[in-house]
Amino acid sequence: MSKIFIAGLAAVILAALILILKPVWPSDALTLKPDMAQAAATTIAALATIALILERALAVLNDLIFVQQDTAIRQKLTVARLAMPPAPAALVPGMAPAALAAHAAAVQAHADARAAIAPMVAEAVAHDKQREQMRLLLGFVASFLISAAGVRTLSTLVTDTSLSGLAEGVDIMLTAGLLAGGSNALAKLVQVILEGANQKLTNLRTAP
């Protein structure tokens, strides 16, 4: 069985156990605030701020863990891209046999260079996936501690801020998930921006 299936099955079993044990954890129905839009906007803004701070802190931890491997992979990939021959121009009707042969050789050299760089790209992708998994793990642990310390979501959206044991546990898990997901989304956005900047720099270096 795949890890995704096992994780999904565990989540279903956990939800079933919560429903079965719910009578043991008395929980009254929650009443949402009448000014829900304003309350939600305030809560989202506060969580976004905390997620931004958390993302920067996790970025430092992730860099400390992966900095050597990340630098080696990126340098190897950058060198290979700089050494890659430019893509040949399109064929022109009436080209001489020597020009056709040179064009075919250029096409083959470009194809060989792309084939040689493919494993490096795959290694970089696998490395980024490993970094993201570590970031998600660290992010959820940190978010859980932050939520347990008092940062909540559900209690800011209901009229009764004194939640029962079950509702408080749900609130902690909900807040932890939102903070971890938000910080991971911000990290992906930063990564896209950095990759775009690196690609532009590589294009400038390889420009004729």
The reply to whether 46 falls in a domain is yes
The reply to whether 186 falls in a domain is yes
The reply to whether 21 falls in a domain is no
The reply to whether 179 falls in a domain is yes
For residues 8 and 141, which has the higher predicted lDDT (pLDDT)? 141
The reply to whether 8 falls in a domain is no
What does the pLDDT read at residue 194?
73
The reply to whether 23 falls in a domain is no
Kindly tell me if the per-residue pLDDT of 185 is higher than 80: yes
The reply to whether 25 falls in a domain is no
Q: Annotate the chain with three-state secondary structure.
A: CCHHHHHHHHHHHHHHHHHHHHHHCCCCCCCECCCHHHHHHHHHHHHHHHHHHHHHHHHHHHHHHHHHHHHHHHHHHHHHHHHCCCCCCCCCCCCCHHHHHHHHHHHHHHHHHHHHHHHHHHHHHHHHHHHHHHHHHHHHHHHHHHHHCCCCCHHHCECCCCCCHHHHHHHHHHHHHHHHHHHHHHHHHHHHHHHHHHHHHHHHHHCC
Tally the domains of the chain.
Answer: 1
Range of the domain at 107: 31-206
The reply to whether 19 falls in a domain is no
Give tens-digit pLDDT for 55-110: 888 888 888 888 888 888 888 877 777 777 777 777 777 777 777 777 778 778 87
